């Protein structure tokens, strides 16, 4: 091992596919559908609001904000999510603002997973989960979604966890399970019964469930996104 190779905890990790996509997009200049690049300019009310803040004479608008999030922002999120999760959330103690989902996941994993503790990751998964667990010196353990046998067309709902296999994943070393619903990349929306089974195992083994719900507002009509452990 060379002195400046990746540290042992990250050995075996593969480069992010996004690095490859960015390089290909720069080379061939296609219509980029991979990373949420908008086709149109931001609405005027957004850019005007940003300009108004930048030009405001109030010096407090140009200082570091509260570490856990701007007070008006966490208050607004508290009102929204208190109704969604079915309990009153304290904006000053129950809500933390991060710079995107990556920082939220990384901070959560680093703040809870200790060396040797196991983290269950459902396959396929967004590529950041595994290296984040390894950065915390945790042990990733993988369980695949399996295609349920059926006649006729296949939908994302036909990708399911094997219950016995899931049960065997939990043990005294299990610290966390990462749940992504609606799921990237299959589009699967975990239904209530599946979530209740995961919740029961988390309670049995005292395991933290990290629920990645970045696509919670993107579901088809007739499909319900259930917030886990509501």
Q: Is position 108 within any domain?
A: no
* Position with higher pLDDT, 1 vs 37: 37
* pLDDT at position 140 over 80: yes
* pLDDT at position 42 over 90: no
* Shared-domain flag, residues 171 and 195: yes
* Shared-domain flag, residues 135 and 192: yes
Q: Is position 1 within any domain?
A: no
* pLDDT at position 195 over 70: yes
Angle at 158 between CA 153 and CA 163, to 5 degrees: 155
* Position with higher pLDDT, 52 vs 15: 52
pTM value is 0.85
Query: What stretches of the chain adopt beta strand conformation (E)?
Result: 118-123, 139-144, 146-147, 159-160, 174-180, 208-212
* Shared-domain flag, residues 183 and 129: yes
Q: Is position 59 within any domain?
A: yes
Q: Is position 196 within any domain?
A: yes
- Given 53, 73, 97, the domain boundary residue is 97
* Shared-domain flag, residues 141 and 187: yes
* CB proximity list for 80: less than 8 A, separation 6 or greater: none
End-to-end CA, the chain: 48
Task: Report d(CA 103, CA 16) in Å as an integer.
Answer: 16
* Shared-domain flag, residues 117 and 90: no
- Given 97, 131, 160, the domain boundary residue is 97
* Shared-domain flag, residues 118 and 197: yes
* Shared-domain flag, residues 117 and 80: no
User: Residue 29: what pLDDT?
Assistant: 83
Question: Residue 137's domain is classified under what CATH number?
Answer: 3.40.640.10
- Which two structure tokens, joined as six digits, stand for 189? 């929306």
User: Residue 229: what pLDDT?
Assistant: 65
User: Residue 35: what pLDDT?
Assistant: 65
* pLDDT at position 37 over 70: no
Task: Report d(CA 103, CA 69) in Å as an integer.
Answer: 14
Q: Is position 11 within any domain?
A: no
* Shared-domain flag, residues 118 and 208: yes
* Shared-domain flag, residues 131 and 176: yes
* Shared-domain flag, residues 125 and 80: no
Q: Is position 172 within any domain?
A: yes
> Per the structure, how many domains does the chain have?
2
User: Residue 1: what pLDDT?
Assistant: 59
Task: Print the domain residue range for 173.
Answer: 113-212
* Shared-domain flag, residues 93 and 125: no
Contact predicate 79/89, CB 8 Å: no
* Shared-domain flag, residues 121 and 206: yes
């Amino acid at each position: 091992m060379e002195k400046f190779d990746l540290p042992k905890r990250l050995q075996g990790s593969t480069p992010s596919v996004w690095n490859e996509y960015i390089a290909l997009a720069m080379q061939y200049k296609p219509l980029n559908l991979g990373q949420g690049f908008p086709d149109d300019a931001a609405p005027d009310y957004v850019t005007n609001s940003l300009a108004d803040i930048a030009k405001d004479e109030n010096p407090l608008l140009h200082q570091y904000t509260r570490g856990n999030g701007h007070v008006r922002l966490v208050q607004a999120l508290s009102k929204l999510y208190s109704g969604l999760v079915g309990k009153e959330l304290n904006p000053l103690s129950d809500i933390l603002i991060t710079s995107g989902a990556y920082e939220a996941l990384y901070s959560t994993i680093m703040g809870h997973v200790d060396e040797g503790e196991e983290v269950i990751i459902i396959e396929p998964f967004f590529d950041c989960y595994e290296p984040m667990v390894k950065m915390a010196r945790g042990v990733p353990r993988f369980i695949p979604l399996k295609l349920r046998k059926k006649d006729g067309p296949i939908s994302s709902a036909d990708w399911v966890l094997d219950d016995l296999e899931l049960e065997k994943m939990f043990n005294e070393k299990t610290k966390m399970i990462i749940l992504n619903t609606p799921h990237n990349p299959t589009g699967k929306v975990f239904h209530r019964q599946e979530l209740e089974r995961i919740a029961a195992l988390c309670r049995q083994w005292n395991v933290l469930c990290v629920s990645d719900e970045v696509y919670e507002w993107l579901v088809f009509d007739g499909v319900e996104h259930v917030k886990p452990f509501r």
